[in-house]
Each structure stands twice: as C-alpha cells, then as structure tokens.
A and B are shown apart, each in its own frame.
Chain A
C-alpha cells in the first residue's frame, strides 16, 4: 500500500469519527430542547460523557448560544469539560511500560521507557552507556525504573522538574508498592529496644513516603490516617499516625533534624522527612521481624483552579458562599488568626493551605481599599502548621465593614490505597 493511500484512509477514518461526534452532538443538543425535563437532564449528562474531545465544538456552540435554558446547559457542560481537561493535564492516565532489554545502553533504555510512559526520562552522560538487562510487561514506569536501578546496582534516579533523572548511585532496595502512576515506599525503619532487666519493650517507627510519576502534577501528596499494618498473625497492629498523635515534645536543631516524642517513642525527622506517613508502634510484639502486609492510604490532590471569595471579616466561623470551612477566624486589630475547628489528634483535619491559597488573603475596607496580609505562620521542619495560621496586616484592621478576600482552591483528589507485602523490619 502506498503512503498516499494510507494517508487517505487515515483521513477518511478521522473524518468519519468527527462526523460521528458531530452527529451525536447534534442529536444531544436537540434533546436539550425536549419537553420533558428528564430527557433534557439526560442529554446534559450525555454531553459531559462525550469527554474533552467534544470541548472545542461545544465552546463554538456556546459562543452562538442564547441565554435560554439550552445556553445555560451548554455553559455548564463546557465548564465541566474544561475542568476535566485540566484534570487530564494535571493527572494524565497511566501508560504502562513493556520492555525487553538485553545489555541495552541505559540512555536508549530510558528513551524507550519514557516514550511508552509519556514521561521524560534522562540520564547523566557518565552512566549513559551502562548496559541494562530487564524484562517488563505492562508495568508502571516507576516500578520498571526501580527494578532497572536495583538490577544494575550502580545507578539511581530522582524525580525533579517534571522528569526522571538517572545518575550514578546506589538505589535503595526499600519495600515498595505501586498503584498506576503512584508509588509508596518504606523509606526507613527504626527499632527501639529497651531492657530494664524487669521488662523488655520494643517500639517501631515506620517512615513511609508517597510520590508519583513526574507527569502527575499533584499540588499535595500525603499519607492519610489509615492504620498501615497487619500483624504477623494477620491481626491489626495498633500503629499510630505521628501526624495525629498529641506531641509531648518536639525539638529542632540547626542541621534540620527534628526530634519528637510520640507516646514516649522518639521520632527523628531528617531533612526532607514529613510527619505524614510516619507511624509509631509502641510495645511491638516480641520477635516481630516481618510485617506480612502493610496497608497505606494516600491522598493525591491536583489543583485545577481557584475561585475568588469575599466574606465579612468578623470573628467567628469562616463561612463562604459555597459553604463553611472548618476554621475559625479572628481579627485582633493587626493580626488575623485562622484556627482549625477540628481537634488535633482526634480526627483527621485538613490544613488550610489545601483549601485556600494562603498568599491570596487581602482585607478590603468599606471603600474597597486593599490592606495586604502577610502570612506569618510558622511550622517546624517537616510539619504542617499546627492548624493555627497567623496573618499580619500592613494597616489597621479596626474599622467597620471590613471584608476579607481569598482564593478557594479548586482541587480534585485521588485516594490511593497501597499494600506493601512482607516488609522486613529487622534481621
């Protein structure tokens, strides 16, 4: 078959698809004018179901649409599809990797894996020619890369600036679980044994870390509060999430390390550690060396936009047009304090920065003049603020009729459940 003929067939197929889409669009748009509301509602849903592929045409239709019900329904469909398009840009669907490499130079291996996954994968020149031998069929990119690095033993990778970068180094053989584009790793295990010649006690601290392929542009990732572990006999072990435990003590030193005492167990946060994902087991069963199953839930959030909101600056619950936020706002005349209404250590709380763009706060006086607010919230390294935020104004906040404006984050969330198997804690 000549190249010309192939192109002609492809063009014909494309037009056929477009024709089919146009036809469906036309049909559904007609149904928007149906007499019964059920048909109109169903047509609206079906238009959304056409997906982002239909967005350019619907946007064109919207330009010429009238202000009637049809126009309003098309507008809502367009808004939903625009948001979906953003979501797809921020969290594209996973593309699995199949590879059969035998002594393939690392650079070529990465190009192939990257092309299949739709993720840029590069390496430094020093390791570009190192041969890679690996078989993988329909596996997540991060799993393939972890395996390749461990198989070689002299290369490792990091995820930075939207790409995977491989360099010389020793890759950690840490217990890992993969779900699509997401990964959970046990970064570190600390075992504390104490023997006072009357009692022996073993405490465990697990440092779990969750991340994702670089094409997943999440604005925040955190391990959530689900208990992570099953005991050797299959029963649950009473792990406590460090982020939800009352802190007896915390100390920070200049090197960036922070030491916490959680339920009398020392938890050491090295630079880069986050309190989310740290789990403490006080009084672990004697002889516990392996966890057959370690379950972890993680929340990946993708910001797809923000909505400007303006509310009166009065002391009380922070309410917006779209509903209340679980926070209390207080105007002290110069400072604005925003405090979580949920009690730390009792139930999962959502930090304010996940709900609101912290740098967007501005106070407006009754003439509409802006008084800027500077975020002065301080948190120890590795911590989120302890659910108390402090903003300082560059002017007086004592007048009447003050309002506060801020951007509510419009985010989509992916709740991912990982299971790590046969996690070896110690020899």
Chain B
C-alpha cells in the first residue's frame, strides 16, 4: 500500500508532464518552415483544450517570435471560445434502457445518469410502471416514447431540467438529431368553396427545441423545408417569414396574412417556423418526407458596437450591419426593420436576439453618456423605441450597445410520413 500511493501519484503526474511536453513540441512546430505544418500545429494545440491553457500562456509569454505569439493568442482564444460553447451546448449522450414495469422515478434517474440531464417527476406519477426498450437513442426520443407508451403522463422542459407530470402527451410528428428535436405542433387546413372554385391552403407549424442542457437563445428553421408527397413529387412549403406579409396583428396571438393566406398563430409560434402551401392539391394528405434545416443560436458573449445616429436633415440611417434602421426623432429613437419602413415583408430576427437590450445608450457629440428608457413595444411588431432625456436631433451622436456574440449550430432533421388531414 505504501508503494501504491507514490505509484498512483507518478501515474497522475505523467499525463501532466506529457501535456506540457506535447505543448512544447507543438509550439516548436508553430515556427516550422511549411505553413501547412504551422496550421496543423495550431489545430492540434486547440485540440488539447482547456487543460493546456496554463502551458500555452506560459509559452506565449516566453516566445520571442511575433508570429508564434500571435498564433498562440489565437489558439488560447479558440480554446476559451470552445469551452464556452461546450458549456452552452454539451455533446449529447444517447441513452440505452431496458425497462420492464420499472417505476417512473427510477426510470428517470437512470436516464439522468446516462444523459447528464436532470430528469424529475411529480410524486403523483413516481410509481407508475414504465416498459421500454431503447438502444443509444436521444434522451428526448426516449422520453417521448415513454410518455406515449404510458398515455397518462407528459413532460416539459423548464429551468434546465425535465419534469414529468400527469397529462396526455401529444403524438406529434417528430424528428431527433442528437440533443435536438423538431416537431410539427399543428397542422391547419383551410378550405374555401365559392361554388365556382374550391381552394385549400395547408399550414404546418414547426417547432425546434432541445434538451435542457442545450442553452440556446433561439432555434428556428433557417430555410423553407424540402417536402415530398408519397408519389415522390416535391411539395413547395413556404415560410411565413419569407412573405409577402401584407398585414399582421400586433398581439402575441393573432393573425398574419401572407400571400392572401390568413394564418392564426399562438403565443410562442415563430413566423420562421410557420410554413404553408397555397392552393394545395386536393389529394395531398400526407408528406412522406419533410427535411428541415434548423439553426440553434447560442449566446457566447457580448461585443460593444458603436453606430452613428442619423441627425440634422438626415433622420433615418442604418443600424450598422443589423437588418434594422434607426429613426432619430429628437428625444425618441425608433428602431425599425430595414425594409419598407417598418412594415417589412421580410421579417428578420427580433432585435433582442441580436443585441443586449439593456446595454443601449446614446453618446452625444460632446462625448456625454445619455441613458435611454425603453418604451413599450407594440405587441409582436419588430418596432422598438427609446426615449432620450435630451434632444439629440442635431447630429454627431452615437448609439452604443453590446452585440450578442453568437455561435450557430446547424441541425438537419427529417420528418417521415407527416399526416396533414384525414
């Protein structure tokens, strides 16, 4: 035993020595003749991850070569960024279960251990038996299957965990990709008969979500889905956000009219996730395949930005690279979608997904900070307004705010056999 402890200590020390040695060797290769080798060394250093940071910082401080120092700086930044990303979006851990009449609570505990996601249930359902076989399946798929198999429980994702309670789980068409899920939450059919012609529009509501350990800020289909009918013919699904939107209500629940199709939406529905088929064929009842490319956006930091405020005779101006424009009305600043003076037919992401709304301030031409007060936003519209304490219409002022630095994860889903109507 006395011998074992030093041996273990030696074994533990060995990888550290090895890591430092690897860092030293790779740092040496940063000065290689061939650029390919230098770049491979950068990649390998980034691959060492967070444990290599102290050694990398030490190496950077010790190096006299400017290019090596610069490359090491890039490596350190990339490792730190990767660490933030890994924290915001940890890799999925599939689950394998073989449950036969296992009490729900124990079943969930097993899932939690395997997936690394907290799974809990209310006491009222803790003893309900679950029978399920799953091998290397995504957690959300296993939970959906378990709830549907029982028929008397449903789960929700709140406050970073899974919570199961009494309820009826909806048998929505769903597709899974790692920790992410895409569902068709609603299908609507609108038939109009004028006794001269019949028209039918189909509306499909998609919703993307993910395991609670995935701390994404938004999850939306990033382009129109590709769909085919059972005969293999393409079905053109259009997204509401791609317009042309002629009108929409300014409440969280209401109606949007896009290309003459009136669509009612609920709170939580996104215009990017609502797709429609105008004048759908009368026999279209099922989509055999729907491929959806979704984008999950993770906020991984903030970056300060300065934008010139329009002033003087020029009251409107761009908001940097953002799809918004600024209207300076003296003591009121309006931010409106860049196209069509605020009644945009191409609706971009809401401003709060792009900037830290609490960071907005105005710095006048003399360099004085002017705090701003956000005015109530009219419902669902992409129109924002702030009040400034003094008139800043003269020009020379700046709008300062923090841009949210995003990391995007693009996920491809495929839904099979989506039934649209009876």
Question: Interface of A with B (CB < 8 Å)?
Answer: 170, 172-175, 186-198, 248-249, 251-255, 257, 259, 261, 264, 266, 268, 425-426
Contacts and interface: CB of A to CB of B under 8 A. Distances in A.
B70 interface: no
Nearest first, the 8 closest Cβ-Cβ pairs linking A and B are A174-B195, A251-B247, A197-B170, A172-B195, A194-B188, A193-B189, A253-B246, A197-B172
Interface of B: 168, 170-173, 184-196, 246-249, 251, 254-255, 257, 260, 262, 264, 421
Nearest to B202: A193
B188 A192 contact: yes
Interface centre among B170, B188, B194, B249 (most CB of A within 10 A): B194
Contact of A191 (B173, B190, B195): B190
Contact of A264 (B168, B247, B262, B264): B264
A251 B170 contact: no
Contacts of A249: 249, 251, 254-255
A261 B190 contact: no
Nearest to A286: B422
Contacts of B192: 188-191
B194 A170 contact: no
A129 B192 CA distance: 35
Given A197-B172, A249-B249, A259 B257 contact: yes
Nearest to A267: B262
A261 B257 contact: no
A194 B420 CA distance: 10
A361 to B, nearest CB: 34
Contacts of B186: 194-197
Nearest to B247: A251
A268 B191 CA distance: 12
Contacts of B189: 191-194
A266 B255 contact: yes
A172 B170 contact: no
A198 B170 contact: yes
Contacts of A426: 191, 193
Interface SS majority for chain B = strand
A251 B196 contact: no
Nearest to A251: B247
Nearest to B173: A197
A124 B421 CA distance: 45
A191 B191 CA distance: 5
A105 B188 CA distance: 48
A190 B188 CA distance: 13
Contacts of B257: 251, 253, 257, 259
Contacts of B264: 261, 264, 266
18 contacts: A172-B195, A174-B194, A187-B195, A188-B192, A188-B193, A193-B189, A194-B186, A196-B170, A196-B172, A196-B185, A196-B186, A197-B185, A197-B186, A198-B170, A249-B251, A249-B254, A261-B264, A425-B193
B262 A266 contact: yes
Contacts of B168: 198
A174 B195 CA distance: 5
A404 B262 CA distance: 45
A402 B192 CA distance: 54
Contacts of B172: 196-197
Nearest to A265: B264
Given A170-B196, A252-B247, A259-B257, 10 more contacts: A172-B194, A192-B189, A194-B186, A196-B186, A197-B173, A198-B170, A248-B254, A249-B251, A261-B264, A266-B255
A380 to B, nearest CB: 12
A157 to B, nearest CB: 14
Nearest to A192: B190
Contacts of A248: 254
A251 B249 contact: yes
Nearest to A287: B422
Nearest to B193: A189
A255 B247 CA distance: 11
Given A188-B193, A189-B192, A426-B193, A259 B421 contact: no
A161 to B, nearest CB: 24
A294 B233 CA distance: 41
A219 to B, nearest CB: 28
A186 B195 contact: yes
Nearest to A252: B247
B247 A253 contact: yes
A189 B198 CA distance: 10
A174 B197 CA distance: 11
A409 B236 CA distance: 56
A252 B194 CA distance: 21
A254 B244 CA distance: 13
A172 B255 contact: no
A173 B262 CA distance: 26
Nearest to B169: A198
A172 B195 CA distance: 5
A196 B187 CA distance: 6
Nearest to A174: B195
Contacts of B247: 251-253, 259
Contacts of B260: 257
A93 to B, nearest CB: 30
A261 B254 contact: yes
A170 B194 CA distance: 12
Contacts of B190: 190-193
Contacts of A268: 262
Given A251-B249, A253-B246, A253-B247, A193 B194 contact: no
Nearest to A270: B194
Nearest to B188: A194
Contacts of B254: 248-249, 261
A261 B255 contact: yes
A251 B255 contact: yes
Contacts of A174: 194-195
B421 A193 contact: yes
A231 B288 CA distance: 37
A83 B249 CA distance: 50
Contact of B248 (A170, A172, A251): A251
Nearest to B190: A192
Contacts of B195: 172-175, 186-188
A308 B17 CA distance: 108
